[in-house]
Structure 1
């Protein structure tokens, strides 16, 4: 048994456990298995994923993200904001931070901090629509408002990467089992590395409602990269503006897809939940 210290935060219900290895590295041979066990809501602490922090020569720290099913993931918008809150509270009280994740540098800015939590802005980089880089199995270079066939039904979707793969569907209402459809699309033949799935209802050109199915975690309270993908997909289809409020069950995230530099900026709240120790048995 190994004692693993953790810090639990959430961004609109999308919760993560931070495992900080920058000061002291515990002997954990398998972070995939640790994530699967500690994130279990019945037999572990419970979370959508873990964020493993190590030292970086290029940034304030390096982040490795593992989903609740144990799979490694490329990026999380809420995860980046959560690490910014943790780093600001436990290391440097500076407003601007930089993190290394999946060989990229993501910038973060503390907009507000206090006893009620944080408001944090992060850069998610530029979107990529090339199907081979998402990746998606497709005959076309792009897949924008084009159909995929799921159980003999065709659904028009927009597929893109914002550092991780996303499939966006625009819907008039949520009177269907979007969780089941999200799970089926995640594991469908089109996506060799699976995909996140966003179901988007447009309220106005500056506001959408989003239900998100996350690859490796399932339905989550919110998703930062999901919000980004939904807005970018809405813009390229001509439905919405570049600055949009994205409404989730627990509150709103704000996306700005900049015309100036093509980067996607995500702003929203982060709250600390608790810290503790988890006894990890790798067997």
Structure 2
């Protein structure tokens, strides 16, 4: 069976998208096995998940192990980009354009700001160690974790996923992936993601995270903003730029200029009165092709 697909990404986290309107031979019962094959990074195309989108804007997303996702905001932004480009937006009662998708958790609505900017509500965050809701009145969310007799200050934040946020300034001698591996062992079986966050300006954060999972880019950006706001280094809204390590302001500005499809950054807005986080972003195309299944 020959399957046409698109590969998109958000902040480096990639997904395969299959438009089932043009792939009538596919049955829902086949989605798990197709996902396992096409997402395989050795023998398939490789991605964090496989998106199946039909003509009614029903969206189903499967992980590389074939299990289905209920929440998938990174994948949702990739779906939004494709849906916009294929003319699937509608107007609401106020005359504003929006994209509506039917998911396992009900209808998801993204506001269309521009052809490369879509906005969605992420919700509120809480500390995954204490379970307490995090809001603008939270005085400190930092915790100390000891690794190899070295104490590291981190913020443990749950927003879509469990994110550990820390500053790369205090970890110059410890490689990113080595630290991530050690943290995974400490928190096992809990699934956590490590995020380095550095405020370049009050409106710009440089972040680095693991490019896996269905929510990782959105969750990491939101957690980074929360940590930065509470520490006083960021405003309630900031552009989070995904990088591979520390960058200067000049380098960050160059990255934004080259980011013509707006897929390497996410704008996070924190409404502190409602205690609600919103994300503005767009998936970006990597390539399209055919997969023999």
Question: What TM-score range do you get, normalising by the shorter chain?
Answer: 0.7 to 0.9
Contact residue 207 and residue 245 of structure 1 kept, 8 A: yes
1:123 is aligned to 121
Among 135, 139, 143, the residue aligned to 1:146:
143
Cα deviations across residues 240-262 of structure 1 (Å, max 9, x unaligned)? Answer: 22101212235432111112432
Distance 1:36 1:62, change over 3 A: closer
- CA deviation after TM superposition for structure 1 residue 50, in Å: 1.9
2:8 is aligned to 9
Contact residue 120 and residue 270 of structure 1 kept, 8 A: no
Distance 1:89 1:272, change over 3 A: same
Contact residue 37 and residue 43 of structure 2 kept, 8 A: yes
Contact residue 212 and residue 223 of structure 1 kept, 8 A: yes
Within 2, Cα distance between the matches of 1:240 and 1:276? 41
- Aligned-CA RMSD value: 3.4
Q: Which of 1 and 2 has greater Rg? A: 2
Question: Structure 2: which 5+ residue stretches go unaligned?
Answer: 91-96, 133-139, 244-254, 256-263
1:103 is aligned to 105
**Aligned to 1:128, what secondary structure does the other structure show?**
strand
- CA deviation after TM superposition for structure 1 residue 194, in Å: 0.9
Cα deviations across residues 159-207 of structure 1 (Å, max 9, x unaligned)? Answer: 122122211112327744112212332x233253311211112223322
For 1:171-210, what aligned pairs fall within 5 Å after superposition? 171-172=168-169, 175=172, 176-185=174-183, 187-210=184-207
**Aligned to 1:82, what secondary structure does the other structure show?**
helix
1:138 is aligned to none
Contact residue 148 and residue 156 of structure 1 kept, 8 A: yes
Distance 1:158 1:191, change over 3 A: farther
> TM-score under structure 2 normalisation?
0.73
**Aligned to 2:221, what secondary structure does the other structure show?**
helix
Contact residue 194 and residue 215 of structure 1 kept, 8 A: no
> TM-score under structure 1 normalisation?
0.75
- CA deviation after TM superposition for structure 1 residue 46, in Å: 2.8
Whose helix proportion is higher, 1 or 2?
Answer: 2
Contact residue 231 and residue 240 of structure 1 kept, 8 A: yes
Among 62, 83, 87, the residue aligned to 1:87:
83
- CA deviation after TM superposition for structure 1 residue 55, in Å: 8.5
Contact residue 107 and residue 122 of structure 1 kept, 8 A: yes
Q: Structure 1 residue 278 and structure 2 residue 257: aligned?
A: no
Cα deviations across residues 210-250 of structure 1 (Å, max 9, x unaligned)? Answer: 11024559xxxx82221111112222333322101212235
**Aligned to 2:232, what secondary structure does the other structure show?**
coil
Distance 1:63 1:184, change over 3 A: farther
Question: Structure 1: which 5+ residue stretches go unaligned?
Answer: 135-142
Within 2, Cα distance between the matches of 1:11 and 1:152? 36
For 1:204-283, what aligned pairs fall within 5 Å after superposition? 204-215=201-212, 223-249=217-243, 251-280=264-293
Cα deviations across residues 43-102 of structure 1 (Å, max 9, x unaligned)? Answer: 32232332234698xxx4344342x56666554433211111222233623331233556
2:46 is aligned to 46
